[in-house]
Amino acid sequence: MNANRPNSPVFHLEDVVFRYGAVTALDGFSFQVNHGESVALLGANGCGKSTLLRILAGLSFPAAGRVTFCGQALTAERLADASFSTQFRRRVGLLFQNSEVQLFNATVFDELAFGPLQLEWPRDRIRKTISDLLEVMGIAHLKDRAPHRLSGGEKKRVALASVLILDPDILLLDEPTAALDPASQSQIFDLLISWRNSGRTVILATHDLDNLEDIAGRCAVFDRGRIVAEGAPLDILHDVALLERIQLVRPHHHKHEPGAAQPHPHPHLHTGE
């Protein structure tokens, strides 16, 4: 499972179809992410971003198509193999969109200790790593609190810390800055920027277009279970027609006759009127 060479594929998906009963969430989906890339998944609600992240995390398996991780098939059968699954889970961390799903321990400290205890780290190392990470994440004051009684943004930061504690080199982040106040958001952006520079692979779903350039080298734009565009953040951000078509920016409003405002897609950036 060695994919630490830059530009070697970490994930490769071909013609993936994923259905929840009658709902097709991914519809013939092909995608590749190479080691060390930072890729932002963009698209309207319900277009399949979280579904893709769950597949990459080995939590959901497609009805059709192929998924590989570092050249090896990523299937339920393969993950039933203890040595493959231990290595995979150690290397790949997923931050869920909904932090409630991620938090199940009695205290924040226990939440962060859970993974290291499973891996039988020495107690001293666990305590030291947790205390360092609590500081970095600005959540030291929450250490003895019950995770399920925290605010939405606090939960998000604890959930992220519980992913980072094992220092995964591949991070899957489902809307990591949603529900965070501006200071916490910029803290997460700083972390994302330093991960980018440290050669980690980051794949994140986001609706935040303002910070794309800092946090992603490439964007994959989804529409109804397919990728409709891929490119550098600036190229995607300048494609206003695309962003309006897939409902990532608000349709432009302007007056057609006195008093009447009408929403409609607008292919050109205005200079004001």
Ligand X SMILES: Nc1ncnc2c1ncn2[C@@H]1O[C@H](COP(=O)(O)OP(=O)(O)OP(=O)(O)O)[C@@H](O)[C@H]1O
d(CA 48, CA 74): 19
d(CA 19, CA 28): 11
d(CA 228, CA 162): 33
Angle between the N-to-C axes of helices 123-136 and 108-118, in degrees from 0 to 180, rounded to the nearest 10: 130
Select the residue interacting with ligand X from 33, 40, 42, 47 (CB under 6 A).
Answer: 47
In angstroms, what is the minimal distance from the CB of 272 to ligand X? 31
Select the residue interacting with Mg ion from 38, 60, 97, 184 (CB under 5 A).
Answer: 97
Judge contact between 205 and 41, C-beta under 8 A: yes
Q: Taking contact as CB under 6 A, which single stretch among the options 46-54, 86-94, 148-156, 247-255 is the one that binds ligand X? A: 46-54
Task: Spell out, one character per residue from 115 to 144, where the chain touches Mg ion: x when CB under 5 A holds, - when not.
Answer: ------------------------------
Q: At 207, is the secondary structure helix, strand, or coil?
A: coil
- 51 is an interface residue for ligand X by CB under 6 A: yes
Report what 45 binds from ligand X, Mg ion, none; CB cut-off 5-8 Å by kind. ligand X
Q: Taking contact as CB under 6 A, which single stretch among the options 45-53, 68-76, 99-107, 133-141 is the one that binds ligand X? A: 45-53
d(CA 218, CA 263): 30
In angstroms, what is the minimal distance from the CB of 205 to Mg ion? 6
With residue 202 as reference, give the H or E element that holds it.
strand 201-205
Q: Where do contacts with ligand X occur on this chain (CB under 6 A)? A: 20, 23, 25, 43, 45-51, 97
Q: Where do contacts with Mg ion occur on this chain (CB under 5 A)? A: 49-50, 97
